[in-house]
A and B are shown apart, each in its own frame.
Chain A
């Protein structure tokens, strides 16, 4: 079967750095996405990785290792507004998005 694993909840301090991990087992791979979802709102796109390595975009970076079936989202200089759920999604061989359950990130002052 297809499976995406990510921690249910993480807590971090304002101004610090946090890494949210995602491991996956899917039938084929056509890219991995990270989305941010604030409570009661729809997800918003953060990043897309299809090749191994690190993609940096401002305070957010996303890393992918296809051989390990592993990705992480790195958030630097955390702000209170970063409190949200972070969803990892993998596009399989049929170009369908397989979603993780999301990681709820709690930022404390």
Chain B
């Protein structure tokens, strides 16, 4: 299957700082990328959907000013957690798909711990 690379795999940051997570599709052009967060023993929660060159569509309850998403190219999307707080600690996962009729491929996930 296609490869989606997510970086970093884990990060620890201080409360109040910002963290950027990158998601790259390595061998295909991703027209759509998705960002999820997942708390322990819970299912994936979609945060936002981003299409290359346009603004991300955020799910209800997700603060767009706190979780900044940029999808500048067909192979790269970034999620920036601004002014992180301990409650933002979670597993963040990106996924990408070529078009609407194909499966989504997931990055390895980023475990964020805010101390």
Q: Are A and B associated in one complex?
A: yes
Asked if B105 lies at the interface with its beta carbon under 8 angstroms from chain A, I say yes
Q: How many residues of A contact B (CB 8 A)?
A: 20
Are B106 and A43 in contact (CB-based, < 8 A)?
yes
Kindly identify, within residues 61 to 106 of chain A, every residue whose CB is under 8 Å from any CB belonging to chain B. 87, 91, 95-97, 99-102
Chain B residue nearest in CB terms to A101: B43
Binary contact track B77-115/A, C-beta < 8 Å → 1, others 0: 000000000000001010000001101111111010000
Contact partner of B108 among A41, A45, A101, CB < 8 A? A41
Asked if B1 lies at the interface with its beta carbon under 8 angstroms from chain A, I say yes
A residues in contact with B107, CB < 8 Å: 42
Q: Size band of the B side of the interface?
A: 20 to 34
Chain A CB count within 10 A is highest, among B44, B49, B101, B105, for B44
Are A99 and B44 in contact (CB-based, < 8 A)?
yes
Are A100 and B43 in contact (CB-based, < 8 A)?
yes
Are A96 and B49 in contact (CB-based, < 8 A)?
yes
Are B42 and A42 in contact (CB-based, < 8 A)?
no
B residues in contact with A33, CB < 8 Å: 103-104
Contact partner of A87 among B6, B44, B105, CB < 8 A? B44
- Give the Cβ gap from B109 to chain A, nearest Cβ, in Å: 4
